Amino acid sequence: MAEIAGDALTHDKANWRYVPLKEVAEIGAGNSAPQKKYLFEGGTYPFIRTSDVGQVRFGAIDGARDLLNNEGISGLRLVPAGTILMPKSGASTFLNHRVMMAGEGYVSSHLATITARQNIADPRYLLYCLSTIKAQELIQDNKYPSLTLSVIGDISIPMPPLDEQKRIVAILDQAFAALDRTHILIEQNRCAVDEIFDSVLANVDGEQSLLGDLVTIRTGKLDANAAVEGGEYPFFTCAKDVYAIDRFAFDCEAILLAGNNAVGDFNVKHYRGKFNAYQRTYVIAINDTNRLLYRYLYFQMIKKLKHFKENSVGVGTKFLKLGMINGLKVSVPNVAQQQRIVTMLDTLLEKNRHLKMLYTRNLADLDDLKQSLLQKAFSGQLT
């Protein structure tokens, strides 16, 4: 942070005043999503939802999952660039996200729209200021966490003179640009680790065999809600997490493959011992371990996850059919070569996990630093 040292904000807050947000900004909400699907086909403007804001978290948002064709729709309000979006309902993890529209667009009714008035030097001043406000401090009903426009309008906003607002924005812009460059570098390094792992899997050669000729596939019998807190045995569902249960149906070594997923991001696990499984979890047992090793098959199944996603069926939820799994072709070199590949991949996997842990920690540290800078900026302490 040495590059911003020496450029300081005025510490004298005697000329600062505090006003409700509604005095310095126009506050409104977006529109409900049109029901007809064709209105989203070939659209001109983005229709921004809470989930789109959730992907950005902080900064400028210049795209959305859906583009809206507004022909024949009455009552929709086109929101101008520079408008700040603040979730007022939706997933609780998104309620603290704050973004600014990079261009014109339409906005979901689950988002508050905040447009700065002339007594704000730069709309980014409000964006930075609102990013210090935690939604949890404003929520009045924890059972149904949401924010009303009235509550948002009453948020207290520090109002230094215009030139000081500009200095705050300039310093934070410079600091955040440096942090964003670091963030991008960390993400690139993390992706590089995944690419190394994937490249090793991609270069495995061997006799091509149908998976159905090598294994026996069963499924669990239980509902996903059969998990028991503190249960004695692992309970495998289609989630990435492993739950617990107090009774077992399997006592063997197996590959566990998720059979459904909301968006087709399936997962695979390797386990040996007593366990139970959800009725849409495939339990894969190898017929001849002198020909195929469990750990080797585990890595081969990881390699096929992208194939599963691309070929899954279903609209609301994506499913894997048994025939799709049985018909999968896998490379099967001799067992000695399989063991060498397993040893190499397990070593790489452990390094992968360690590096990801470090990268995740570094990203969290960057987020903490951003929050620290924001808090100092609006208490007159940033130097």
Whether residue 179 lies inside any domain: the answer is: no
pLDDT at 250 over 90: yes
Q: Structural domain tally of the chain?
A: 2
Whether residue 67 lies inside any domain: the answer is: yes
pLDDT the model gives residue 9? 41
* Nearest one of 50, 156, 169, 165 to 109, comparing CA atoms: 50
User: With DSSP H G I counted as helix, E B as strand and the rest as coil, what are the percentages for the chain, rounded to 5?
Assistant: 40, 25, 35
Residues 78 and 137 occupy one common structural domain: yes
| 256 membership: H or E segment, kind and range | strand 250-258
Whether residue 380 lies inside any domain: the answer is: no
Residues 120 and 28 occupy one common structural domain: yes
Concatenating the DSSP letter of every residue in 26-82 gives EEEE-BPPPS-GGGGTT-SEEEE-HHHHHHH-EEEE---SEEE--TT--S--PBPTT
Sign of CA dihedral 180, 181, 182, 184: positive
Residues 328 and 246 occupy one common structural domain: yes
Segments forming the whole domain that contains residue 278: 207-332
The 10s digit of each residue's pLDDT in 80-98 is: 999 999 998 876 678 888 9
Whether residue 49 lies inside any domain: the answer is: yes
The 10s digit of each residue's pLDDT in 63-77 is: 888 898 877 677 788
Contact 296, 272 (CB under 8 A): no
Residues 108 and 46 occupy one common structural domain: yes
Beta-carbon count within 10 A of 70 CB: 15
The 10s digit of each residue's pLDDT in 195-217 is: 877 787 777 777 889 999 999 99
pLDDT the model gives residue 253? 97
Sign of CA dihedral 133, 139, 142, 146: negative
pLDDT at 125 over 80: yes
pLDDT the model gives residue 210? 95
pLDDT the model gives residue 177? 83
Residues 217 and 148 occupy one common structural domain: no
Whether residue 99 lies inside any domain: the answer is: yes
Helix, strand, or coil here: 329?
strand
Residues 215 and 155 occupy one common structural domain: no
Q: Say which residues have a Cβ less than 8 Å from residue 12's Cβ, sequence separation at least 6.
A: 380
Give buried/exposed letters for 328-349 (b at 16+ CB in 10 A, else e): bebbbeeeeebeebbeebeeee
Residues 154 and 77 occupy one common structural domain: yes
Residues 155 and 227 occupy one common structural domain: no
CATH number at residue 46: 3.90.220.20
Whether residue 280 lies inside any domain: the answer is: yes
pLDDT the model gives residue 315? 74
* Nearest one of 212, 232, 161 to 14, comparing CA atoms: 161
Residues 124 and 245 occupy one common structural domain: no
Q: How much is the mean pLDDT over the chain?
A: 85
pLDDT the model gives residue 141? 67
How many whole angstroms separate alpha carbon 258 and alpha carbon 239?
Answer: 7
pLDDT the model gives residue 212? 95
Percentage of residues in the chain having pLDDT higher than 90: 43
Residues 57 and 134 occupy one common structural domain: yes
pLDDT the model gives residue 383? 53
Q: At what angle do helices 123-130 and 162-202 cross, to 10 degrees?
A: 60
Whether residue 7 lies inside any domain: the answer is: no
Whether residue 341 lies inside any domain: the answer is: no
Residues 219 and 99 occupy one common structural domain: no
The 10s digit of each residue's pLDDT in 317-347 is: 889 999 999 999 998 999 999 999 899 889 8
- Cα first-last separation, the chain: 11
Q: Which long-range contacts (CB under 8 A, 24 or more apart) does 307-314 make?
A: 308/264, 308/266, 309/264, 309/265, 309/266, 310/264, 312/261, 312/264, 312/266, 314/260
Helix, strand, or coil here: 321?
coil
Concatenating the DSSP letter of every residue in 91-143 gives -GGGTT-EEEESS-BEEBTTEEEEEE-TTSS-HHHHHHHHTT--GGGT-S-TT
* Nearest one of 49, 53, 35, 149 to 94, comparing CA atoms: 53
Residues 298-314 have a mean pLDDT of 89
The answer to whether the predicted template modeling score (pTM) of the entire model surpasses 0.85 is no
The 10s digit of each residue's pLDDT in 148-188 is: 899 999 999 989 888 888 988 888 888 888 777 877 877 77
pLDDT the model gives residue 325? 94
Residues 326 and 250 occupy one common structural domain: yes
pLDDT at 8 over 50: no
